[in-house]
A and B are shown apart, each in its own frame.
Chain A
C-alpha cells in the first residue's frame, strides 16, 4: 500500500496532490512546443499545434503547418496553412478549432482539419490588427475576446450566434496590458486587465478600477492571471513573486503565497476539484512546476521538457513532447482508503477483501471491526466511489471487488450504484484507450454526460465504438444507435470513391428501417455533396413520402416530387409542389402535368375558382373540357357580367361550348335563357317593374298578376310551356289576385289537364268556400270524395264513398267525422260497411 501513495504530495495538512501519466506521447514532433501556437480542448479533447508561426526571425517563405492530434498524440489532421498570420488558436465547446488571424478573421476548422466557415471580428479589429486573443467558454457556447493594436477589446460571447461587442476604452491606456483575461459572471462576459499596479474591469457599459482585497503591498505589475474552470476564482501573479488567490468577483481573498520567483511564469492555471474546499494554482516556468495553495509550503515538480498545461474541471493536464500527465487533488474517498494507516471503513474493507483472497482469517476480523461500528454500507460506498477516481483498471477492479465483497454481508444494499459504476468505468476505460485518446476522469464524464461523449465519438468518426457503448448501456434506439447510424450514413455519402449503388446499398443494409433514422436527412447530405443520384436512391428508402418532397424539389425533380406529395396525402405538400411547378414549367407543360394527376388538378382547380378565374378557363380549354367551359361561362353570365349584352354574349359562348360537348340539352336551355333575358329586358322597358333574372315560370306569373294575360299566353307559347304547368300557374296566380270571375272563365276555357281538384284546393287555401264548391262538383269521380271533404261537405262525401263502395274512401270520410255533428254520417258509413262485408 505504501508504494501506492508514493506519488501523493501533501499540500498543507489536509490535501494531497498526485500526478500520474495518462499516455506516453509518440507524436513525432519536429519542433519544440515553445515554437508553436498550442491549443488543447478541455474534457480530454484534441490538441492543435500550428508550427512555425510568424516569428520575425524566421523566413516568411516557409508555409506553416497546422496539425491536430488526439490527447494521446495520434495524428488526426495535418494541413498547410495558406491563410494569413494567426495570433491565437482555441477550441470551441463543440470541438471546433477557432484560428484567430491578425486581421480579425476567425477561421473555423473541424476536428479532422476540414474547413467549416469563417467570420470577422469587425472593421475596427481589421484596421488595428489583433494583438492578442482568447477563446473562452460560457453558458451560451464559446466566446472570442480580442485585444486590438489600439488597446481596445472586442468580444463575442457566442461564436455560434455572432454578436460583436466593443468594450469601453480604458482611460489612459497607452501600452498593451501586462496581462488580461475574459471573465464570465452572471451570464455576462467581462474583461479583467492589468496595467502596471492597477486592475480594471470592463463590462459592456463601463470601465472600473478594482483592487483585490488583502493584496500584499509593493506590487508594481501583474505578470499573470488565471481564472478557474468555473469562473469562480481568480489568481494573480505579481512581479514580486507573490500569488494572490481569491474570488473572481474580487470581493474576497482565499489565500496568498510568496514563491520568491520573479521570472514571469509561462502558464498559471487553477487546479481544484468541484465541491472541494481546497483551492490550488499550478504555476509553470520553463523547467519548474509548482502547486501552491493555502499552505506555507508548495509542491514542486521538475519539468524535464517543455510542457503545456490544460486546465480541466477537476485538475490539470500537463503534456510535453514525450508524456501526457494528469495532476489533481486526491479525491476524499481515495484519500480515506489509501492514506497510510487509515482506519476508514473503506480502507478496512479493502484490507478485508485482500485477506479473504489470501484465505486468511484476518478478513473476518476486519469485517467485524467495520460491522461493529455499523459502517459497512459506507465502506462499500467508499470503495465504489474510489474506484471511479482510479485511472488504472487493476486498481478499479480491486476496489470494486472489495465493494462487491462487502455487499455480500449487507441485506438491503441497493445495487444500482455499484452496477452503474461498473458500466461507467467500462465506458471510461474504453475511451481512455490509447487509440481513442479521450482521457476523461469520472467527474468530467458525469459533467459531460453520455450524450455529449457519444457526440464526440461520432465527431471522431468512431462509429463502432459509439454503437457498442449505446448497446452496452441499452440506450433507447432513437437517441442511441439510430442516431449514430444516421451520422455514419451522412459520413458515408461523402466517400466519393464509392459508387452510388454501393453506398446506397451499404447504408440500407446497416440502417434497414431502424426507428428514428431519417433517410431524407441523409439524402440531403448526399445532395449537399453534389451526389444527386445517390440522394434519389436514398430517398427511395424513406418511408414517409412527405419527407421526400422538399429535397426532391430542391434537386429540381419536381414531377417526382409531385407524385410523392400526392402519395403522402398531404394536400398542402401537393400545393407547394404545384406552385413550384407553375414557376418552373411553361404553362402548357404545367397543365399537361396536372392532367396526369387528377388529385392535384382538382386541388388547383379549387384554388383557381377562388383566386384565378382566368387560369381556370385556360385549364378547361387545354383539356377540351367543353362541358365545364360551358358551366364556367354560365356562371360568368350571372356573376361576372353586369350588362345585358355581356350576359347574353357569355351565354352564347356557353351554348357553343355545350354544343361542342354534345350536350344539346344544356345548349338549348342556354339559348332559351338568352331569348328570355332579351325578352325580360324588353318587358322591363315596356311595362316597368322587375323581370330580369326571374325564371320563366315567375315571368309568366308576374305578367298575369299585372294583368298582361295576352303577353303571358304569348310567352307560354313561345317557350312551349306545357299545359299542365300553365294551368297550375294561371290557377295560382288568378287565385292570388282573387279574380274569381276570370278564374271561372279560365276553368271553362277547355277541359282542365290537371283536373278540378286543384281548383278546389287553391280556392280553399284562399278560404273561398263558395268558389271551391263550384269546382267540387266538376271534380272527377275518383277524386270526388277528397274534393267534398276539402269543402267540408262530409255528408255528401259519405254518400259518394258509399256509392263507390270504396273501402279506403269510406275510412277517409270516417276519419273526417268529428264529434256529434257528423254522428249520423258516421253511422251511415258503418252500416254501409257492414252491408258490404255481408255480401
Chain B
C-alpha cells in the first residue's frame, strides 16, 4: 500500500534548476584555467559532484581526476586544480604539494576552488605556509543539492559538530546565502517561522542579505508559502531513536550516502556490490520508503505476485500481442523486477542483521525510555549492552537517550555507565563524554530544582543580542531537556487502545511503531496549525527558547492558495528519514506538501560519531 497524494496536493517547484546552476558555475570556473589540467577532488565532494555532473562533462575541461588524499600525488600536468571544502587540513595538503614542487624547482599553476565558500582562515593558512601567492582561489557556491523532488541537502555533515559542539558559526553565512538563493529563484516566503538560536541567527542574516539586495525578489510571486527553521538541538530524541520506516532503516543499516546506497553482495545475491539511487524515480522504493518496516515485506511479495501475473499474461497471447508486449511492457517489467529483487534482498539482509542484535529488545527499551517507565530495567539493559561490547555507537546512543528523556542521569548511573563504557571502549572516550556533556546530550542530573532560577537568568543572558553568546559552563546548564514535560504537553506518546494499526497509520507516531510522535514534527505541526507560536509559550519555555522562537508573516495577496500549502522545513544540523516520512504523512493528511532542506541527512549513528573522539 502506497500513500497516494491527495488530488489537491500542490505541485512541487522544480529544483533541478539548482543542479544546472551549480554545474554551469563549475564549468565556468574550470574554464577560467584554460588548457590541460588535473583536478583533485576532495572525497566528500565526489558524491555530490556525481549527482550534478557526470565525468564526461568534466572531461571536457579536465585531463585526469584525483582524489585528495593524504599521500602525495603524482601528476604530470602543468596545471593543478583543487576542488575542496574550506578545511585547514586541505590547505596544508595543497601547501605541501606546492612546496614540494618549489623544492624540485618546478613551476606549475595551482587553482583552489572552495565549495561552498572560501574562509579567511584557509587563506591565512596558505599564507602562513608561504604559498598564498602561488595559488589562485575561487568559490563554487554549490550549497544546495536536490537529492530528491522534495529534499535539498547542503551536504555539510560537519555543520552539526561545528555549531552544536564547537559553537562555530561560520556555516550560518553559507546557510543564509542558500536561503537567499532559494528566495531569488522561487520567490519570497510570505510566512516564516523558526525556533532555536541558530535558526534565529540564520534568519536574521538572511533577511539582511535580502535587504541589501532589495528589489530583486520584490514583486515576485511566492512559490513556497511557508518556511520553518528548526535547530537540531530542539529535538535530539527523535534523531537518537532507531528508525523503523523503510528508508530510515535502510539508512541505519546500509548508510545512504548522498541519495544513493551501496548494496553489498548479501543484498544483490551476486558477487558484486551495486550502487543504487534511492529517490522518487525508483517506483518500487517510492511506494515503500515511508512504510513501517513490518508492512514492507508483505507489500513486496504482493508486488511480486502482481508482477508474475503480468508476466503470465503472455501465455495466452498471439503473435501480435506478444510483439506489443515485448516492445512496450517488457522493459518496464524487467526494470521493476530488478528493483523488486533488490529491495527484497535489502529487506532480508536487514531482518538478518536486526534479529542478530535482538532488535526487539532494543526497540522495547527505547520505547520504555520514551514513555518513562521501568527506568531501572532500561539502565540495566544499557549496562549489559556496554558490558557485552555490542556496539560502541549504539551504547552511546542509548546512554544519550536515557539522559535526555530523564533530564540527565542520576549521579550514580552517570558515573557507573561512563566507567563501564571506558572499560569497554578505551579511555579516549573521556573526551567523547566531555563533548556530549557540552552539547547537552549526556548530562548529570543536578540535585533539586534550584537550577531554574539560574536557568532563567541564563536564558535572558543568552538572548541579549549584544552580550550575545554564552560561555560553555552555562550552555550545558541551559540545555536541560525537559523532555518528559514537553512530551506531556504536546502529547507525544499516543494513548494506545489495542493494537496500533501500522498499515493504516492514524498519526505521525507510526514512524516509531506508534509509540512516539517525533517532537520536531509535532512542533512544526502545531505552529502551522496555529500560524505562529501563540499558545505554545509553555513548550517554548521548556525548550529553553523563550526568545528564540519567531514568526514573521507578510501580508502577501499574491501568494496563491496552492503555494500556501507548500512548506519548506529547514533542519539546521540535519534531519532523519523518519522525520521526513512523518512530515510527508502529515502533509498527506492535511493537504500540504513539505519540502525539506537539511544541512545533511543524519541518523543516530552519524550524530554519535560526530561527538566521538577516536584515535587518529
Binding site for B on A (CB under 8 A): 515, 543-544, 563, 566-567, 569-572, 575-576, 579, 597-599, 602-603, 605-607, 610-611, 625, 627-628, 631, 634-635, 638-639, 665-666, 669-670, 672-673, 676, 693-697, 719, 721-722, 724-725, 728-729, 732, 754
Q: A670 to chain B: which residues have CB within 8 Å?
A: 427, 430
CA–CA, A693 and B428, complex, Å: 10
Whether B169 pairs with A603 at a CB distance below 8 angstroms is yes
CA–CA, A724 and B385, complex, Å: 11
Whether B170 pairs with A725 at a CB distance below 8 angstroms is no
Name B391-427 residues within 8 Å CB distance of A: 415, 418-420, 422-427
The interface-forming segment of B239-247, B452-460, B466-474, B563-571 is B466-474
CA–CA, A665 and B434, complex, Å: 12
Given contacts A569-B173, A634-B431, A697-B423, contact A728 B387 (CB under 8 A): yes
The interface-forming segment of B118-126, B130-138, B527-535, B595-603 is B118-126
CA–CA, A507 and B471, complex, Å: 40
Whether A665 pairs with B415 at a CB distance below 8 angstroms is yes
Q: How far is the CB of B87 from chain A (nearest CB, A)?
A: 8
Please pick, from B88, B205, B208, B425, the residue contacting A695 in the complex, using a CB distance under 8 A: B425
With a 10 A CB-CB cut-off, give which of B128, B422, B615 has the most chain A CB atoms. Answer: B422
Whether B124 pairs with A579 at a CB distance below 8 angstroms is yes
CA–CA, A634 and B613, complex, Å: 11
Binding site for A on B (CB under 8 A): 88-89, 119-121, 124-125, 128, 162, 166-170, 172-173, 176, 201, 204-205, 208, 211-212, 214, 383-384, 387-389, 415, 418-420, 422-428, 430-431, 434, 465-466, 468-472, 613, 615-616
Whether B169 pairs with A569 at a CB distance below 8 angstroms is yes
Please pick, from B428, B468, B471, the residue contacting A634 in the complex, using a CB distance under 8 A: B428
Q: Which residue of A lies closest to B615 (CB)?
A: A638
Please list the 7 inter-chain residue pairs (A to B) with the smallest Cβ-Cβ separation, ordered nearest first: A602-B167, A571-B170, A610-B88, A673-B427, A598-B469, A695-B426, A572-B120
Whether A575 pairs with B615 at a CB distance below 8 angstroms is no
Q: B419 to chain A: which residues have CB within 8 Å?
A: 665, 669
Please pick, from A544, A566, A673, the residue contacting B212 in the complex, using a CB distance under 8 A: A544
Q: How far is the CB of B395 from chain A (nearest CB, A)?
A: 12
CA–CA, A567 and B172, complex, Å: 13
Q: B172 to chain A: which residues have CB within 8 Å?
A: 569, 571
Q: Which residue of B lies closest to A599 (CB)?
A: B469
Whether B169 pairs with A599 at a CB distance below 8 angstroms is yes
Q: Which residue of A lies closest to B466 (CB)?
A: A563
Given contacts A603-B169, A611-B88, contact A695 B423 (CB under 8 A): yes
Please pick, from B212, B388, B422, B465, the residue contacting A732 in the complex, using a CB distance under 8 A: B388
A-B contact pairs, 10 of them (CB 8 A): A569-B201, A569-B204, A569-B208, A576-B120, A597-B468, A631-B431, A634-B428, A670-B430, A695-B426, A724-B387
Q: How far is the CB of B315 from chain A (nearest CB, A)?
A: 32
Q: B434 to chain A: which residues have CB within 8 Å?
A: 627, 631, 666
Q: How far is the CB of A451 from chain B (nearest CB, A)?
A: 20
Q: A606 to chain B: which residues have CB within 8 Å?
A: 162, 166, 168
Whether B468 pairs with A728 at a CB distance below 8 angstroms is no
CA–CA, A544 and B207, complex, Å: 12
Q: A569 to chain B: which residues have CB within 8 Å?
A: 169, 172-173, 176, 201, 204-205, 208
Given contacts A599-B468, A732-B388, contact A669 B201 (CB under 8 A): no
Please pick, from A515, A602, A634, the residue contacting B166 in the complex, using a CB distance under 8 A: A602
Whether A728 pairs with B431 at a CB distance below 8 angstroms is no
CA–CA, A563 and B467, complex, Å: 10
Q: How far is the CB of A434 from chain B (nearest CB, A)?
A: 40
Q: Which residue of A lies closest to B613 (CB)?
A: A635
Whether B89 pairs with A610 at a CB distance below 8 angstroms is yes
Given contacts A575-B121, A603-B169, A725-B387, contact A695 B424 (CB under 8 A): yes
Whether B427 pairs with A719 at a CB distance below 8 angstroms is no
With a 10 A CB-CB cut-off, give which of A567, A569, A599 has the most chain B CB atoms. Answer: A569
Please pick, from B128, B167, B173, the residue contacting A611 in the complex, using a CB distance under 8 A: B128
Q: A669 to chain B: which residues have CB within 8 Å?
A: 418-419, 422, 427, 430
Given contacts A563-B466, A576-B120, contact A598 B420 (CB under 8 A): no
CA–CA, A627 and B434, complex, Å: 9
Dominant secondary structure of chain A at its interface with chain B:
helix
CA–CA, A684 and B329, complex, Å: 68
Q: A598 to chain B: which residues have CB within 8 Å?
A: 167, 468-471
Q: How far is the CB of A706 from chain B (nearest CB, A)?
A: 18
Please pick, from B168, B389, B428, the residue contacting A603 in the complex, using a CB distance under 8 A: B168
CA–CA, A670 and B428, complex, Å: 9
Q: B469 to chain A: which residues have CB within 8 Å?
A: 597-599
CA–CA, A728 and B389, complex, Å: 10
CA–CA, A631 and B165, complex, Å: 14
Q: A576 to chain B: which residues have CB within 8 Å?
A: 120
Q: Which residue of A lies closest to B205 (CB)?
A: A569
Q: How far is the CB of B182 from chain A (nearest CB, A)?
A: 18
Please pick, from B124, B167, B173, B420, the residue contacting A570 in the complex, using a CB distance under 8 A: B173
Q: B615 to chain A: which residues have CB within 8 Å?
A: 638-639, 693
Q: A627 to chain B: which residues have CB within 8 Å?
A: 434
CA–CA, A610 and B168, complex, Å: 14
Q: Which residue of A lies closest to B176 (CB)?
A: A569
Q: A567 to chain B: which residues have CB within 8 Å?
A: 465
Q: Which residue of A lies closest to B470 (CB)?
A: A598
Q: B425 to chain A: which residues have CB within 8 Å?
A: 695, 697
With a 10 A CB-CB cut-off, give which of B172, B176, B211, B428 has the most chain A CB atoms. Answer: B428
Q: How far is the CB of B147 from chain A (nearest CB, A)?
A: 27
With a 10 A CB-CB cut-off, give which of A579, A611, A693, A754 has the most chain B CB atoms. Answer: A611
Whether B428 pairs with A515 at a CB distance below 8 angstroms is no
Whether A603 pairs with B170 at a CB distance below 8 angstroms is yes
Q: B468 to chain A: which residues have CB within 8 Å?
A: 566, 597-599
Q: A563 to chain B: which residues have CB within 8 Å?
A: 466
CA–CA, A693 and B471, complex, Å: 34
Whether B167 pairs with A599 at a CB distance below 8 angstroms is yes
Q: B176 to chain A: which residues have CB within 8 Å?
A: 569
CA–CA, A576 and B170, complex, Å: 13
Q: Which residue of B lies closest to A673 (CB)?
A: B427
Whether B424 pairs with A697 at a CB distance below 8 angstroms is yes
Q: How far is the CB of B475 from chain A (nearest CB, A)?
A: 9
CA–CA, A729 and B388, complex, Å: 7
Whether B169 pairs with A571 at a CB distance below 8 angstroms is yes
Q: How far is the CB of B143 from chain A (nearest CB, A)?
A: 15
Given contacts A599-B169, A722-B420, 12 further A-B contacts (CB under 8 A): A569-B176, A572-B170, A575-B119, A575-B121, A607-B88, A607-B121, A631-B434, A635-B613, A639-B615, A722-B387, A725-B420, A725-B423
Q: How far is the CB of B600 from chain A (nearest CB, A)?
A: 19
Q: A602 to chain B: which residues have CB within 8 Å?
A: 166-169
Whether A634 pairs with B430 at a CB distance below 8 angstroms is yes
CA–CA, A714 and B189, complex, Å: 68
Q: B208 to chain A: which residues have CB within 8 Å?
A: 544, 569
Please pick, from B124, B169, B388, B423, the residue contacting A719 in the complex, using a CB distance under 8 A: B423
Whether B427 pairs with A665 at a CB distance below 8 angstroms is no
CA–CA, A611 and B423, complex, Å: 32
Q: Which residue of A lies closest to B201 (CB)?
A: A569
Q: Which residue of B lies closest to A596 (CB)?
A: B467
Q: A672 to chain B: which residues have CB within 8 Å?
A: 427
Q: Which residue of B lies closest to A720 (CB)?
A: B419
Q: Which residue of B lies closest to A573 (CB)?
A: B120
Q: How far is the CB of B82 from chain A (nearest CB, A)?
A: 18
CA–CA, A673 and B119, complex, Å: 39
Given contacts A544-B208, A697-B389, contact A638 B428 (CB under 8 A): yes
CA–CA, A756 and B159, complex, Å: 47
Q: B168 to chain A: which residues have CB within 8 Å?
A: 571, 602-603, 606
Q: How far is the CB of B176 from chain A (nearest CB, A)?
A: 8
Q: How far is the CB of A152 from chain B (nearest CB, A)?
A: 39
Q: Which residue of B lies closest to A727 (CB)?
A: B387
Q: A722 to chain B: which residues have CB within 8 Å?
A: 387, 420
Given contacts A569-B169, A606-B162, A732-B388, contact A666 B128 (CB under 8 A): no
Q: B426 to chain A: which residues have CB within 8 Å?
A: 693-695
